[in-house]
Structure 1
Amino acid sequence: MLSWMVWTTPVAVFFALVVVMLIGMTVWETRSPTVMRKGFLPIATTRGDRLFIGLMFAAWINLAWVGLGEKMQTWFGLAEEPSIWISAAIAAVVLLVVMRRG
């Protein structure tokens, strides 16, 4: 059923963390309902909105990293493509910034 998906460790970790975040946000929302607020994003958002936007940024960062991997190897003269864990760390920082300040 899931044989079409390339289940590498980074992919499995990413999806597991998304599930944990969704469960955590559900519990947080039931204990403390959210209020709309305006941060650096151009719209007023709730916690759920910021989580969705942050996850979209994370997906775009990781897709760009994978897509530019060979080019980065050439540009920087690397022996192999840069690790996907680097993009995962960058995406996590961007997600935290969006959740906190967005």
Structure 2
Amino acid sequence: MDRIGELASKKAAVIFTKSSCFMCHSIKALFYDIGASPAIHELDEDPKGKEMEWALRSLGCNPCVPAVFIGGKYVGSCKDVISLQVDGSLKQMLIDAKAIWL
């Protein structure tokens, strides 16, 4: 759990993913399209990936990936991020966290 918090706070936008997950790829593409350059942590490529997956589940991440953190705070998974994008608040969250600039 400490590792998740540490990694999530190292950069303004952080996404925990799995390399084979289509929805993870979509969320990463969305962030890149907006102009953000998030830190990406591929759980299936990390030696402690299983432990981090369990830690994400204990935070309420279901499914555990993609798990998006902005400004060190858990924002949600794919459906949550898409909802934020649709209502226009995702970009403002990224601006507030200094993950993108206008």
Same fold (TM over 0.5): no
The alignment's TM-score, normalised by the length of structure 2, stands at 0.32
> If each structure's helix is expressed as a fraction of its own residues, which one has the higher value?
1
The structure that is strand-richer by fraction is 2
